[in-house]
Copies of this chain bind each other. A is one copy, B any other.
């Protein structure tokens, strides 16, 4: 019996699965498993387990952190403070309160982003494939994707990657975002049409923030990083101490469950 342990974002296709005839278990060291051929694995009775939710809070807090860092010009503020310059001239600052904060994809991370920004007093709206009545009861309003994109002052992309969502942030949608919008994508960059993003970055009237983790080609990465209104972080969204501890615990729990014949967090 063979086990395959796959870290974040690595593809596992038919060929790889067929190369391991005794494969019975794929343990994914991440929440996302969009690049694994789960149907084919299922057909071959291979159990795939992921790590749901371990980084929910880590990513949600990073989303807010990166937005605030930008809208409060903190990097420039720190730089000045360190050099003994305590002038605020030319430092721009806006608030989250009373702004339209759009969450695209109201899964576990999106839901936390929505809840936290409600605490800031934002007008929080969402689009998701399925309506979430619970969230709506708590004042998180539903909008169609195109309407939300046109109205939002802030947009947080929190969709899972699949055939329906790849490239969902396309050229025309980038054209339609509000001037001044701050967009943050902590989800895979496959959701984004890179040329559409670049067309809009050229306009110099939006900010796009992402935490990059190998999903863009070197070429695309080079293209977007030319624009200073595209803020690229290393993949630090999901790396809090708390998330790492939860990750280990769930990963080992999954293995143990599988070995005892009671697999948990099975995704196929």
Report chain B residues within 8 Å CB of A212. 81, 86
**Stretch binding the partner chain, chosen from A30-38, A102-110, A236-244:** A236-244
**Separation of A214 and B72 alpha carbons in the complex (Å):** 20
Q: Does A94 contact B (CB under 8 A)?
A: yes
Q: Does A213 contact B86, Cβ atoms closer than 8 Å?
A: yes
A235: which of B86, B96, B236 is its contact (CB, 8 Å)? B86
**Separation of A232 and B93 alpha carbons in the complex (Å):** 17
What band does the interface of chain A fall in when counting residues whose beta carbon is under 8 Å from B?
35 or more
Q: Does A118 contact B120, Cβ atoms closer than 8 Å?
A: no
Q: Does B74 contact A66, Cβ atoms closer than 8 Å?
A: yes
Closest to A83 in B: B225
A65-B72, A212-B81 known; A236+B88 contact, CB < 8 A: yes
Q: Does B62 contact A72, Cβ atoms closer than 8 Å?
A: yes
Closest to A235 in B: B88
Q: Does A69 contact B62, Cβ atoms closer than 8 Å?
A: no
Report chain B residues within 8 Å CB of A225. 81-82, 84
Q: Does A57 contact B (CB under 8 A)?
A: yes
Q: Does A119 contact B (CB under 8 A)?
A: yes
12 cross-chain CB contacts under 8 A: A58-B95, A64-B68, A65-B72, A68-B69, A72-B236, A81-B231, A81-B232, A88-B234, A88-B236, A93-B239, A95-B242, A115-B119
Chain A residues near B (Cβ < 8 Å): 57-58, 61-62, 64-66, 68-69, 72-75, 77-78, 80-82, 84-88, 91-98, 115-121, 211-214, 225, 231-236, 239-243
Closest 7 CB pairs of A and B: A119-B119, A65-B68, A81-B232, A93-B240, A77-B233, A86-B234, A88-B234
Known contacts A74-B233, A82-B232, A88-B235; 9 additional CB pairs below 8 A are A58-B95, A64-B68, A66-B74, A78-B233, A81-B233, A92-B241, A94-B241, A97-B242, A117-B119
